A and B are shown apart, each in its own frame.
Chain A
Amino acid sequence: MLQHAGQPARCLVRPGDKVQEGMLIGKAEGASSANVHSSIPGIVTRVSEVPGADGIASVAALIEFGGEFDRTGKPSAATEWEKLPRAELLGRIRSCGVVGLGGGLLPTHLKLAPGAERRTVFLVANGIECEPSLHADVSLMREKSRQVVAGMRICQRILEATRMVLAISESSREELEPLFREASGKDELEIVALSGRYPQGHEDLVRKAILSRDSLSNGGAAGGGAGTCIILNVATLYAVFEAVVMQRPLIERYVTVTGSAVRRPGVLKVRIGTRLGDLFEECGGLMEPPGKVVVGGPMRGISVASLDFPVTKGVAGVMAFTRAEARPGFALPCIRCGACVEACPWELVPTRLNKLVERGDVTTALAEGLSSCTECGCCAYACPSRIPLVDTLRRGKRLGAVGDHG
């Protein structure tokens, strides 16, 4: 019931209940929350509190498959959304449980809700993978370019956005640009190719890149400075299309299945709630017992203790590493080489923040920008001494948050 940023949804089912595909089983509660739907038809066998991959427990319903898929495989009539009022569009997005699928997991209706004062709004579709070695977004764009563009038009209408921008990585430009040119028809869609180098896919970095690019080409006057960018992941836009046009709730998503222990890595369309182990089976199984299984990508993903964890809305990839790769590293003393400083996209000095947090001086660390850390993992990746910088900084951020409240 917690697959989004905010409060968990309230579970509506009890053991023994019969559910249908796409039925509402969790109702959004509170200011920031999202609906949850059953991804398969069947009988609820158990409702209990289970830990998520991130360690935060929430209520989950175990559903045993049974009965018929009454939506899948049957054409549903496309609605002519252009005639619907904006409130209805937003309502459909909310009731279908659409959340930011790039990793932020913010309920999408909140992101699209009318803000106070907006002058120039850019709607940016983020088609840059959130992590290296994942390609779920590119696969989606390859297969569903029309639907993604339709999702953009819907959001454009809701936001009254003046411009629509699609940000893709340089490496996928050649393949995707013609598809989207065709899908968008007219010239209103701007396609911007950015470096695909991690962590470029991060929302703030995409925004920074688009705005600085814009202020360069416009001489800083016309749009750039005054603009607001609303950035939505392409998978989210696809979910918006499904919700508004097809009235289908968010019950499936594209997931990259990869890692060196996987026999046939690839991208799968997965129903939310599927066991991780089943994803690997679908990809030819594992070549050896895995040493580590990660939900998410190699840089920010969370390692899990069991293959029984379910795929949730935020899972863009799952990875299985061999035992040799999973061996824990041995941290050496910091030699102040500065590799972490060069790697940090937010221009922090990670080794210094690390020392401050270890010393217990979170206040100074916060003053030096600790809260800007997005835990992208670049510093720890670059560190020749293999110091677990991200882990310490994350701890520091938590300590800082606790200090704020108490």
Chain B
Amino acid sequence: MADSTPLTVSPAPHVGGLISSARLNWSLALSLLPASAWGVFLFGFPALQVLAVAAATALVADAAASLAWGRAVLRDGSAAVTGLLIGMLMPPAVPLYVPAAASAFGIIVVKQSFGGLGRNWMNPALGGVVFALFSWADAATRWLPARGTPAGTAAAPLAALRSALAGGAQPTGGVLSALGARGYPWSSLDGRVVSWVNVHVLSAVGLSLPGGVFDLLVGNIPGRIGDVSVPLLMLGAAFLLARRVIRWQVPVAYLASFLVAAQVFGGLPMGRGWFAGAALFQLFCGSVVLGAFFMATDPVTSPLTRGGRVAYGICLGLLTFLLRYFGTPGFGVPLAILLGNCISPLLDKIARPRAASPRKAVVQ
């Protein structure tokens, strides 16, 4: 046989690369689409604009910064995911220069100036969002009302609860009752659904649900574009877990520690005692689900090892709880994850597996 073509000589293994980084990133982007689409459906064209500006700025900034630093421009989708996450973390009525600034800062300063993909120690999306929303603080609360609620001043449920408590309200029946007592505007559909369930289902067992349960469950509330629909976020997360794009350790540890902390201690600041926090309410508002599945799992800024990931998740859950109750309103999840990023290398060092040495193990 004539060797007409030279044979490639390369180191083993000779197979592999079945899952590429690009495929991981595009799966991530795909999994974020349902929740983003819900945000657009809820808040209309402004939300779509914010998402588009954030994603486009991220892509352009990534390409420009890569060229400027003399690196290859990667088409692996990582910049698109960063941009989409930034858009999802914006309030819908934010002026468009805010998401643009967030994307530019996140990509250029947080990611590329540290050496590009894989070398940033802080999550670029969160770094950009925190930078922009701290810079234009009034932009951080540009909410739009949910569907079927009166136009006018809309406030996210967490912010409303905070001001209710600051106003000296003593919630006796629970957080939703407290909000209801202050005249929080739930949608008309929520009123109809909740009263139907109360009359036809729960009256038989002597229970009744407060208004707002339905709105919270489906995500028909004022909030950031991408964090309102918990069910659709869970759907995307299930897709990622099934495709092994993300691993379960961080989100499970994160949500579990957050829920436990919220339930055990969450009632104390409201004067309701131990074990009286409204953990489920806390789960459905704010960005904790978005953060746990889509941002805390960012591989670059989270620990490598299984043990490190579990520890990281627990730290994030506790930090989120503390920052949500005692920190700057609206920044619990982003700041918790950024703080977590800082300790991630430390956790990796502590939880590094001891290299097994079976040869030594069997020698008597």
Give the contacts of B3-35 with A (CB-CB under 8 A). Answer: 3-17, 19-21, 23-24
Interface residues of A in 194-242 (CB under 8 A from B): 204-205, 207-208, 211, 226, 228-229
Interface residues of A (CB under 8 A from B): 204-205, 207-208, 211, 226, 228-229, 277, 280-281, 285-286, 289-294, 296, 298-307, 319, 321, 323, 326-329, 332-339, 341-342, 346-349, 351-352, 368-369, 372, 375, 377, 380-386, 388, 390-391, 394
A-B contact list, 12 entries, CB within 8 Å: A208-B358, A226-B364, A228-B364, A299-B15, A323-B5, A332-B21, A332-B76, A335-B21, A349-B305, A369-B357, A375-B12, A383-B16
Q: Report B41-73 CB contacts with A as 1/0, cut-off 8 Å.
A: 000000000000000000000000000000000
**Residue in A329, A333, A334 whose beta carbon sits within 8 Å of that of B17 in the complex:** A329
List the B side residues contacting A323 at CB < 8 Å: 5
Of the listed stretches B111-119, B141-149, B323-331, chain A binds: B111-119
With a cutoff of 8 Å between Cβ atoms, the chain A residues found around residue B24 in the complex are: 337, 384
- Chain B residues with CB under 8 A of A204: 358-359
Cβ contact within 8 Å between B116 and A333? yes
Q: Are A384 and B362 in contact, CB atoms less than 8 angstroms apart?
A: no
How many of chain B's residues touch chain A, expressed as a range? 35 or more
Using a CB–CB distance below 8 Å, which chain B residues touch chain A? 1, 3-17, 19-21, 23-24, 74, 76, 78, 116-119, 247, 299-300, 302, 304-306, 309, 352-359, 361-362, 364
Contacts known (A208-B358, A292-B8, A305-B7); A381 close to B16, Cβ less than 8 A = yes
Q: Which residues of B contact A368 (CB under 8 A)?
A: 352, 355
For the complex formed, measure the closest distance between the CB of B342 and the CB atoms of chain A, giving whole angstroms: 15
With beta carbons under 8 angstroms apart, the residue of A328, A333, A341, A380 that contacts B118 is A333
Bound together, the chains give a CA A321 to CA B5 distance in angstroms of 13
Contacts A208-B358, A289-B5, A299-B13 hold; do A338 and B20 have CB atoms under 8 A apart? no
* Measured CA separation A388–B3 after assembly (Å): 27
Q: How far is the CA of A88 from the CA of B325 in the complex (A)?
A: 82
Partner of B11, one of A338, A369, A388: A388
Chain A residues near B4: list those with CB within 8 A.
289
Closest to B357 in A: A372
CA A349 to CA B78, docked complex, whole Å = 24
For the complex, give the distance between the alpha carbons of A105 and B326 in Å.
66
In the bound complex, residues from chain B placing their C-beta under 8 Å from that of A348 are 353, 355
Q: Give CA–CA (A86, B242) in the complex, Å.
A: 57
Instruction: Tell me, in angstroms, the Cα distance from A332 to B19 when the chains sit together.
Output: 13
